[in-house]
Amino acid sequence: MKVARFYAPGDIRIEEAPEPSAGPDELKLKVHNCSTCGTDLKIFRHGHHHIDPPRVIGHEIAGEIVEVGSAVDGWQPGDRVQVIAAIPCGECPDCKRGWMTICPNQRSMGYHYDGGFAEYMIVPHAVLKVDGVNRIPDSLSYAEASVAEPFACVLNGQELARVGEGDTVVVVGAGPIGCLHVRLARARGAESVYLVELSRQRLEMAAALVKPDAAICSSDVDPIEEVLRLTDGRGVDVVITAAAAGKAQEDGLKMAARRGRISFFGGLPKDNPIIACDSNLVHYRELTIVGANGSSPSHNKRALELIASGAVPVDDLITHRMPLDGVLDAIHTVSTGEAIKVTIEP
């Protein structure tokens, strides 16, 4: 079979590999869709400290079961499934409290285990153990189901930031994650959702799809002034930064209303994670700053349901479909910002 393997920064090879077979406590999938994201681009450029190469990458996985290990219950060949990316241990104190997104023993598909940029792949026992395989509702395509993983992370972020009925929300960053945040905020009852983005082209493409109440190009206007203008000086209830920029986080603190919540959804570059924060702003305005680290198996299940119910459509966000041979093109397309979601169809 064909796979896309990461060897070193700048070195991902499409190559032949023996087709795997499922061990007694594993499943084998025929991968139908594995979507790409900024993380794949990061891995391609810099590698990742959790990846011990060579490794088949790809973590936004949807496929069809073709082999069921003898000790696995509940699954049949032919079942259509979506697979979690972040694998909590299920046993540590954090997992026991239900905080699976911050499990310190977390492992990941495409990092510790071979991922979905392959014609076939193995779902390891570690995934099955934490109920990390989800049936795809009949109404959803494999491509849509593959977006459940990034969407699950968005869901975790908005739960932690308590986005709800009547909120005004700013989303900073108009990539696929920013688009999903706009749609989810609306589905959760937000009254107004504003989208902020540096690139005019990316902003226009995203705004045409997700139709925010205002699309703010931060290379043309000061986004803080614009948000304050739109809210009569009050600021917004929630700011979500879906951009790897300290400036976005610093600006976010200044856009928040009293009692506002600021989600540092996107992480910052490892070598530059320090921002300037006026602590008195947080103190006197009773602001809440929250993080967000991936998603739990239960977020993946609920993400699939939200997509299937029509509350958060994702089909139109999938702008590019490419074969497995095109993984490098796909990663390049992600880097140019000209796509929303690029999916690989092995």
Piece in contact with Zn ion (CB under 5 A), picked from 12-20, 38-46, 235-243, 316-324: 38-46
Q: Is residue 268 at the binding interface for Zn ion, with CB under 5 A as the rule?
A: no
Backbone φ and ψ of 65, nearest 5° = -70, 130
Closest CB 157 distance from Zn ion, rounded Å: 14
Q: Are 297 and 132 in contact (CB under 8 A)?
A: yes
Our CA dihedral for 84, 206, 276, 292, rounded to 10 degrees, sits at -20
What are the structure tokens assigned to 138, written together?
């009949």
- Would you count residue 39 as binding Zn ion (CB under 5 A)? yes
Contact call for residue 89 and Zn ion (CB under 5 A) = yes
Contact string (CB under 5 A) for Zn ion, positions 109-138, x = contact:
------------------------------
> Sign (positive/negative) of CA torsion 115, 340, 288, 247?
positive
Q: What CA–CA distance (Å, rounded) separates 234 from 231?
A: 5
Pair 290, 264: CB distance under 8 Å:
yes
Report the distance separating Cα 262 and Cα 279, nearest Å.
14
Please report whether residue 92 would count as binding Zn ion according to CB under 5 A: yes
Q: Which of 107, 139, 229, 215 is nearest to 170 (CA)?
A: 215
By beta-carbon proximity to Zn ion, the closer residue of 203 and 344 is 344
Asked if 103 touches Zn ion (CB under 5 A), the answer is yes
Give least dist CB 177 to Zn ion, A. 9
Q: Looking at 41-49, 104-112, 196-204, 224-232, which segment touches Zn ion (CB under 5 A)?
A: 104-112
Quote the CA–CA distance of 155 and 158 in Å, as a whole number.
5
Which of these segments, 19-27, 89-97, 199-207, 212-220, binds Zn ion (CB under 5 A)? 89-97
Cβ-based nearer residue to Zn ion, 107 or 234: 107
Q: Does 88 bind Zn ion (CB under 5 A)?
A: yes
With binding defined as CB under 5 A, does residue 51 bind Zn ion?
no
- Which region, judged by CB under 5 A, interacts with Zn ion, from 30-38, 49-57, 123-131, 207-215? 30-38
Distance from C-alpha of 196 to C-alpha of 194, rounded to nearest angstrom: 7
Interacting residues toward Zn ion by CB under 5 A: 37, 39, 88-89, 92, 95, 103, 105
